[in-house]
């Protein structure tokens, strides 16, 4: 194979590895991030959203625990931060609309009390209490 092609392939590989490492380091600097996923996490608490609201309505977890909201309502729903309708108290919980049989997950890195609701049905409310 020509030396130019080998050099080009090497540059592409090094660039790809560098981009991967940069993205992962940037994500680790921001522990508050929401992830749309269906995978199983080591420390995870599941909250189900159905036509009656959130079950359980309140959970207590240790920091660095993932909370996963699973939509079993039969239609699109939301998880949004309190206080309705502005959703400004914990903006990181403003996941937007997610489909039936899908989920949204958030890893809580800081202790505190996090209230949330379903924007489409504001009477459906819940709370996550995060401890050390």
> At 91, which CATH number?
2.60.40.420
**pLDDT at residue 1 tops 80:** no
Q: Which strands, in side-by-side order, build the sheet including 34-35?
A: 34-35, 103-108, 65-71, 44-50, 53-55
Whether residue 19 is found in the same domain as residue 78: no
Do 20 and 59 reside in the same domain of the chain?
no
Over the stretch 19-73, which tens digit does the pLDDT of each residue have?
555 554 444 343 444 444 444 455 799 999 999 999 999 999 999 999 999 999 9
Contact between residue 111 and residue 132 where contact means Cβ atoms under 8 Å apart:
yes
pTM greater than the 0.75 cutoff: no
Residues 23 and 50 in one domain: no
């Amino acid at each position: 194979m020509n030396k130019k092609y080998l050099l080009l392939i090497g540059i592409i590989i090094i660039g790809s590895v560098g981009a991967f490492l940069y993205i992962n380091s940037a994500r680790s600097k921001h522990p508050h991030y929401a992830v749309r996923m269906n995978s199983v996490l080591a420390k995870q608490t599941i909250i189900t959203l159905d036509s009656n609201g959130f079950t359980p309505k309140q959970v207590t977890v240790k920091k660095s625990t993932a909370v996963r909201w699973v939509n079993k309502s039969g239609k699109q729903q939301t998880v949004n931060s309190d206080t309705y309708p502005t959703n400004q108290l914990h903006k990181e919980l403003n996941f937007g609309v997610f489909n039936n049989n899908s989920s949204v997950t958030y890893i809580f890195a800081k202790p505190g009390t996090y209230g949330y609701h379903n924007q489409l049905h504001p009477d459906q409310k819940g709370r996550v209490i995060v401890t050390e």
